Amino acid sequence: MSEETIVRSAKSEAYWQQLNCRFPAANKIFDACIVEAKSELSEEGVSSYIDNARFLGKMGRGVEPLLVYLEEAPTVATLVGEKVLPDIKDFAYFLSTNTNFKAIVPFLQSLAAVTRRLHSYEQLQQYFELLKKMIADTSGSVHGHHTTFPSPGLPFLLEQAPRLLSQLSLQGLSNWMDYGVRYYHTHPERQKDYFSLQAPDAVAVMQRERHGTLMVDHERQLDLYLRGLWQDGDYLVPYSLIFDELRKPMPYFDDYGIRLPDVYDDYNGVSGINRYRAVLAHIAAHRKWSSKMVVDNWSPFQRIAVEMFEDSRVEYLAMQQFPGLRKLFLALHPVPDEDDLSKTDMSLIRLRLALVSRAILDPEFKLKNDALKTFVDRFFATMGKGESSSPEMADIALSFIAKTRRQTDLSPNIYFDNTEVDYRDDNRHLWIYIEQGDEEEDTFEHLEDQQRDDVDTLPPRHYHEWDYSSQIYRPDWVSVYEAVQAAGNVRIVDGILEKHAALAKRLKAILDALKPQEKVRIRYQEEGSELDLDVAIRSLIDLKSGSQPDMRINMSHKNDGRDIAVMLVVDLSQSLNEKAAGSSQTILELSQEAVTLLAWTIDKLGDKFAIAGFNSDTRHDVRYSHIKGFSEKFDEQVKGRLAGMQAQYSTRMGAAMRHAAHYLEAQKADKKLMLVLTDGEPADIDVDDDQLLIQDTHQAVKELQQKGIYSYCINLDQKADEYVADIFGKQYTVIDHVDKLPEQLPKIFMALTK
Amino acid sequence: MNDHAQYNINEEPFYQAQSDEVELYEAAYAARLPVMVKGPTGCGKSRFIEYMAWKLGKPLITVACNEDMTASDLVGRYLLDANGTRWLDGPLTTAARIGAICYLDEVVEARQDTTVVIHPLTDHRRTLPLDKKGELIEAHADFQLVISYNPGYQSLMKDLKQSTKQRFTGFEFDYPSEATETTIVAKETGVDAELATKLVKIGATARNLKGHGLDEGISTRLLTYAATLIKGGIEPKAACRMALVRPITDDADIRVTLDHAIETIFA
């Protein structure tokens, strides 16, 4: 260790002594730090700063915590007050003593950035509390090891904390952390992914907790806006702002749609939704009035000038149609500072353009600079003659660049303040390039085509799942794959129908009573379609005999039809392969018989109906087999699929019901009924908590109800009473003697729909 | 039956012709051809018929059809009377007797069996059999049948049978062009052209949304309502929201979009 001799002032030397530190690295930076601290903190503050630093230096966790503290602490203290200095030390010490000492450095490093987002001492305290809670929940011991393991996610969380807080409120951060802790506290690797924002659900939850107006929530309104006011329409595709702090992406449009930021906060009195509308108005105006121009010969400066004049032109035209847009644009357009035109050490091209743009937009904004004013006047003179055109704007822009050119324009130091108009798109649609640049041409394009192999299965549909413990939906949690059920031997089904011929005959009798009577006579109508002679004569007799006659002597007819759509969802989980109690048949065989008979019954009744089976192998693979669609007849093909039903895996009922509901929802019918035939409770191998899927299914039932779908469960589990009421309320039947199922099911159905 | 005068139209209704429909109608009437007018609600169908009846000097009997309407409601029925029952002519029968123009408004709303009773009146026979009464009415020489319907409903159930459709000559109405509509709104209500232009622009916005959550755009009729309200001293934006937006939709997204359109147009 080589001791460098560093000469410092007496005061600094006193502080150095107070720090009582032997690390040479600390020695090196100490001077710079103490200068900063002295300029920003009070006398006591500096003293407290040194005391706490001394503690960190002697904590036995190396020099690094001390160094980071020395550098960061003064900033934090100036932001929220000097009383925070001991708190920082205490928290670092807390980390050091509870096995999470590796997190000390990230904690200190991110602290200044975090404080900048939180603004107040109280909020910072809450942040510490959140961290403590998270540490308590995620550090732990593994059975059999006599050590405690540090929290795997903590260092990653600390690294991401500034970014997280830039998007989330403290409450949002707390929710986001809770989610990660809840789902990944048993899984260190996943926990790391989550807290480092690598996991997709980390981003999804963050998105949900964000402040501001989310595009996804307002997509339809924006679509309607575009259609209604602009007679335009396109895909609206959000892009995320989370991962681009430095390089701010801009809205744009191309052949594949209009790209917009995923979220807008309110800004300068303009609500998020109106900011979206401003962007769309600008883009729609371009699409309406702009034309493409060849730009190969234009310099970058010329291009941005053309962009600015063209932007101003389309906005001018848009505001003529919709004068109210001016209010939005004015609020969103920055107000550049004309006085800065005197700066000589920077490229002011952006400033000059922004000034002209503002002056065109805002009649109140008076320019002093004559050169710029000429161009504003020239713009209005051109627009006074009509719509003008993109090339005409380009002419103005090119002469603008030529006339206002300055020596300093080429300076790398570019003036940016208040020159960015964030509701304008990047104008890529304006350009045509004749030369395609220097790259090799499309060498790999053919590969892309090859990789797009023919897919014969449907892409998965994702559904939310309800988590009862935190009362939130887990976003896009379950993937449902739908496929057509492989066909089996049709003769099996015909055999079932033969076997139950006697039952079918009895059912037929009930059916006939249920069958819709097309025309029903309604008597005693004052105004009807026909005279009801019986009543008319009776009334006449009344009249003649002097008593009050009944004037309702007409009758009419009305149609009395059934309008029901039925979706039968059959549980096809492994347990169906077991033999039913007191029967030689498996539950699957009995279910098959029951479903066949029910299908036959509904077919005879003439109601719309569909059949599907489901099972699941974790949330990533819920299989939904299509057996009969609403538009299919109960024919050989459907019978074949019924015969082909097989039982395997588990029962993730909620997802299957949601998927089935999206078909049933689309049906036009007065009554919609979803029958769920199952032999047990909802369960899956990736879920430990018995209640979770039960509650999720209950939630699905509630969702269905909101959509006007009545769900009804037919349960073959003798112990079903324990849970089935929790899911379906009163809408269920438990069948104790499974062998009676084929007989019971059609009867239940008919009783339900009577 | 001396109250036929009530069916006469004494004052000229305001009607702004969109193209040559007035001449075409006169020609159809000269030959007593049955006429069908199609078009979205509130675009001026009924006003047109009213105007033509006035121009031709014929009485007009209008029947607003609804889905519970039966054939008896058109033809007539027996009512109870001191001497037993008494036959009461329905509006169609009355029109055929007195030689009026019978206008069945929104005829698709009526049940299909109901519309069949007009068949014998619409071909060369020009008769109306009253089977319950046992009478066959020869239509008056001036009698003409006009029906209107709105193809915008696009419901399978609400369409005319081919056999009914093919008995009529047809006019297709649509919302008038912006310029014409501005004139209509201005003339009908007496507002200035600038306000009328703005209202028409809001109307156009809503018509663009047809099929995207709106079954029908804002009709000319509603635009005149809004103009009337504004003329009555109501603040324009409030009047537009009240007359143009609230009646036509319960859909929150559409309401917000149209409200915003009003904001941007009435800056």
- Is B73 close to A527, i.e. CB distance below 8 A? yes
Exposure of A583 by Cβ count < 10 A (0-12 exposed, 13-18 middle, 19+ buried)? middle
Residues B44 and B158 in one domain: yes
B225 closest CA partner among B255, B208, B207, B248: B248
Percent of residues in chain B assigned helix, strand, coil, to nearest 5: 45, 15, 35
Mean pLDDT in residue range A467-483: 86
β-pair partners for A410: none
- Is A536 close to B209, i.e. CB distance below 8 A? no
Residues A550 and A617 in one domain: no
Q: Which residues from chain A sit within 8 angstroms of residue B212, using beta carbons? A: 223-224, 227
Q: Which residues from chain A sit within 8 angstroms of residue B253, using beta carbons? A: 220-221, 224
Mean pLDDT in residue range B55-79: 88
Domain that holds residue B41: 3-172
What is the Cα–Cα distance from A2 to A694, expressed in whole angstroms? 68
Mutant choice from B208, B249, B254 vs A, greatest count of A C-beta within 10 A:
B208
Q: Which of residues 75-114 of B touch A (CB under 8 A)?
A: 77-78, 80, 82, 84-85
Residue B244 is predicted with a pLDDT of 93
Least CB–CB distance from B209: residue in A224, A324, A540 = A224
A84 closest CA partner among A48, A133, A55: A48
- Is A528 close to B70, i.e. CB distance below 8 A? yes
Provide residues of A within 8 Å CB-CB of chain B: 220-221, 223-225, 227-229, 231, 273-274, 277, 321-327, 527-531, 536, 539-540, 543, 549, 551, 553-554, 556
- Is A554 close to B72, i.e. CB distance below 8 A? yes
Question: Which of A227-241, A273-287, A729-743, B145-159 has maximum average pLDDT?
Answer: A273-287
Structure token digits, residue A618: 């974790």
**CATH number, domain with residue B26:** 3.40.50.300
Residue A386 lies in a domain: yes
Least confident stretch, A141-155, A210-224, A547-561, B202-216: A141-155
DSSP annotation of B139: P
Least CB–CB distance from B206: residue in A228, A543, A551 = A228
Least confident stretch, A24-33, A674-683, B17-26: A24-33
Residue A456 has pLDDT above 70, yes or no: no
Question: At residue B200, what is the residue type?
Answer: V
Q: Which residues from chain B sit within 8 angstroms of residue A321, using beta carbons? A: 201
* CB-facing half-sphere around the CA of A462: CA atoms within 13 A: 8
Residues B242 and B204 in one domain: yes
Mean pLDDT in residue range A198-224: 83
Residue B156 has pLDDT above 70, yes or no: no
What pLDDT digit, counting tens, does each position of B73-117 carry? 899 888 877 777 788 899 999 999 999 999 999 888 887 778 888
Residues B243 and B149 in one domain: no
- State chain A's mean pLDDT as an integer: 85
Count other Cβ atoms within 10 Å, centred on residue A71.
16
Q: Which residues from chain B sit within 8 angstroms of residue A525, using beta carbons? A: none
Q: What is the pTM of this model?
A: 0.61
Question: At residue B101, what is the residue type?
Answer: I
Between helix A64-80 and helix A104-118 the angle, nearest 10°, is 10
End-to-end CA distance of chain B: 57
Least confident stretch, A161-165, A227-231, A241-245, B157-161: A241-245
- Is B256 close to A551, i.e. CB distance below 8 A? no
Residue A748 lies in a domain: yes
Residues A679 and A550 in one domain: no
What pLDDT digit, counting tens, does each position of B109-141 carry? 887 778 888 899 998 889 999 888 889 999 999
- Is B266 close to A551, i.e. CB distance below 8 A? no
Rounded alpha-carbon distances, angstroms, from residue A695 to A658, A680, A683: 14, 14, 11
Mutant choice from A315, A521, A529 vs B, greatest count of B C-beta within 10 A:
A529
β-pair partners for A481: A623
Residue A486 lies in a domain: no
Exposure of A68 by Cβ count < 10 A (0-12 exposed, 13-18 middle, 19+ buried)? buried
What is the Cα–Cα distance from A23 to A21, expressed in whole angstroms? 6
- Is B80 close to A539, i.e. CB distance below 8 A? yes
- Is B78 close to A531, i.e. CB distance below 8 A? yes
**DSSP H or E stretch at residue A149:** strand A148-149
Q: Closest approach of chain A CAs to the CA of B108, in angstroms?
A: 18
What is the Cα–Cα distance from A693 to A652, expressed in whole angstroms? 7
The greatest distance separating any two alpha carbons of chain A, rounded to the nearest whole angstrom, comes to: 133
Residue A272 lies in a domain: yes
Contact in structure between B116 and B127 (CB atoms under 8 Å): no
- Is B72 close to A530, i.e. CB distance below 8 A? yes
Residue B153 is predicted with a pLDDT of 59
Domain that holds residue A524: 518-559
What pLDDT digit, counting tens, does each position of A85-117 carry? 888 888 988 888 878 888 888 898 999 888 888
Residue A441 is predicted with a pLDDT of 54
Residues A168 and A227 in one domain: no
A574 closest CA partner among A536, A538, A620, A623: A623
Residue A445 is predicted with a pLDDT of 52
Residue A449 has pLDDT above 70, yes or no: no
Q: Closest approach of chain A CAs to the CA of B206, in angstroms?
A: 6
Is B134 part of the contact surface with chain A (CB cutoff 8 Å)? Answer: no
Residues B118 and B244 in one domain: no
Please report where in the chains the tokens 């005879």 appear, as a residue.
A604
Is B235 part of the contact surface with chain A (CB cutoff 8 Å)? Answer: no
What domain count does chain A have?
A: 4
Residue A350 lies in a domain: yes
Residues A165 and A241 in one domain: no
Residue A187 has pLDDT above 70, yes or no: yes
Nearest CA in chain B to A274: B260
pLDDT class for A452, splitting at 50, 70, 90?
very low
Least confident stretch, A234-248, A432-446, B203-217: A432-446
What pLDDT digit, counting tens, does each position of A331-382 carry? 999 999 888 888 888 888 999 999 999 999 999 998 888 889 999 999 999 9
Percentage of the residues of chain B whose pLDDT score is greater than 70? 96
Residues B137 and B187 in one domain: no
Contact in structure between B106 and B94 (CB atoms under 8 Å): no
DSSP annotation of B83: T
Please report where in the chains the tokens 């001390």 appear, as a residue.
A66
pLDDT class for A5, splitting at 50, 70, 90?
low
Residues B168 and B183 in one domain: no
DSSP helix/strand/coil, A386: coil
Rounded alpha-carbon distances, angstroms, from residue A661 to A29, A485, A673, B34: 66, 18, 10, 48
pLDDT class for A435, splitting at 50, 70, 90?
confident
- Is A540 close to B85, i.e. CB distance below 8 A? yes
Residues A328 and A221 in one domain: yes
- Sign of the dihedral through C-alpha A413, A415, A416, A419: negative
Residue B189 is predicted with a pLDDT of 92
Contact in structure between A413 and A345 (CB atoms under 8 Å): yes
- Is A228 close to B80, i.e. CB distance below 8 A? no
* Torsion, Cα of A199, A205, A206, A207 (10° steps): 110
Residue A515 is predicted with a pLDDT of 64
pLDDT class for A453, splitting at 50, 70, 90?
very low
β-pair partners for B101: B60, B144
Q: For chain B, give the number of residues.
A: 267
What is the Cα–Cα distance from A200 to A205, expressed in whole angstroms? 9
Residue A465 lies in a domain: no
What is the Cα–Cα distance from B64 to B85, expressed in whole angstroms? 27
Q: Closest approach of chain B CAs to the CA of A322, in angstroms?
A: 5
Rounded alpha-carbon distances, angstroms, from residue A329 to A271, A351, B39: 12, 18, 39
Residues B143 and B193 in one domain: no
**What residues contact A501, with CB distance under 8 A and at least 6 apart?**
none
Rounded alpha-carbon distances, angstroms, from residue A90 to A52, A53, A56, A235, A331: 9, 11, 9, 53, 46
Least confident stretch, A228-237, B78-87, B233-242: B78-87
Buried b (16+ CB within 10 A) or exposed e, A117-142: bbeebebbebbbebbeebbebbbeee
Exposure of B106 by Cβ count < 10 A (0-12 exposed, 13-18 middle, 19+ buried)? buried
Residue A66 has pLDDT above 60, yes or no: yes
DSSP annotation of B107: G
Strand arrangement of the beta sheet that strand A608-616 belongs to:
A461-467, A472-484, A622-628, A608-616, A564-571, A671-678, A709-715, A732-734
Please report where in the chains the tokens 């004013």 appear, as a residue.
A373
How does DSSP assign A228-256, residue by residue? HHHS----EEEE-STT-SSS----EEETT
A59 closest CA partner among A83, A90, A13: A90
Q: Closest approach of chain B CAs to the CA of A548, in angstroms?
A: 12
What is the Cα–Cα distance from A131 to A566, expressed in whole angstroms? 51
Residue B33 is predicted with a pLDDT of 94
Least CB–CB distance from B264: residue in A325, A543, A549 = A325
A531 closest CA partner among B254, B88, B15, B252: B88
Residue A571 is predicted with a pLDDT of 92
Mean pLDDT in residue range A131-144: 77
* Domain-terminating residue out of A164, A184, A209: A209
Is B212 part of the contact surface with chain A (CB cutoff 8 Å)? Answer: yes
pLDDT class for A217, splitting at 50, 70, 90?
confident
Least CB–CB distance from B257: residue in A224, A527, A530 = A224
pLDDT class for A1, splitting at 50, 70, 90?
very low
Residues A319 and A406 in one domain: yes
Residues B113 and B244 in one domain: no
Mean pLDDT in residue range B27-47: 91
- Is A529 close to B80, i.e. CB distance below 8 A? no
Structure token digits, residue B233: 């001293």
Mean pLDDT in residue range A30-50: 86
Residues B21 and B133 in one domain: yes
Question: At residue B62, what is the residue type?
Answer: T
Residues B149 and B185 in one domain: no
Residue A123 is predicted with a pLDDT of 85
SS3 letters across A712-750:
EEEECCCCHHHCHHHHHCCCEEECCCHHHHHHHHHHHHH
Percentage of the residues of chain A whose pLDDT score is greater than 70? 93
- Is B264 close to A223, i.e. CB distance below 8 A? no
B143 closest CA partner among B165, B132, B128: B128
Residue A455 is predicted with a pLDDT of 47
What is the Cα–Cα distance from A337 to A455, expressed in whole angstroms? 58
What domain count does chain B have?
A: 2
Q: Closest approach of chain A CAs to the CA of B78, in angstroms?
A: 7
ipTM: 0.71
Residue A451 lies in a domain: no
Residues B145 and B192 in one domain: no
How does DSSP assign A544-557, residue by residue? HTTSPPP---EEEE
Contact in structure between B37 and B148 (CB atoms under 8 Å): yes
pLDDT class for A734, splitting at 50, 70, 90?
confident
β-pair partners for A424: none
DSSP annotation of B210: B
Least CB–CB distance from A324: residue in B254, B258, B265 = B265
Residue A178 lies in a domain: yes
Mean pLDDT in residue range A405-419: 85
What is the Cα–Cα distance from B13 to A430, expressed in whole angstroms? 53
Residues A413 and A281 in one domain: yes
What is the Cα–Cα distance from A693 to A468, expressed in whole angstroms? 9
How many contacts does A have with B, using Cβ atoms within 8 A?
Answer: 83
Residues A127 and A178 in one domain: yes
Q: Closest approach of chain B CAs to the CA of A558, in angstroms?
A: 9
Residue A514 is predicted with a pLDDT of 65
Nearest CA in chain B to A230: B205
Contact in structure between B150 and B105 (CB atoms under 8 Å): no
Contact in structure between A552 and A524 (CB atoms under 8 Å): yes
What is the Cα–Cα distance from B66 to B47, expressed in whole angstroms? 20
Contact in structure between A351 and A414 (CB atoms under 8 Å): no
Residue A255 is predicted with a pLDDT of 85
Residues B9 and B41 in one domain: yes
Q: Parallel, antiparallel, or unpaired: how do β-strands A213-214 and A263-264 relate?
A: antiparallel
Residue A141 is predicted with a pLDDT of 63
Is B123 part of the contact surface with chain A (CB cutoff 8 Å)? Answer: no
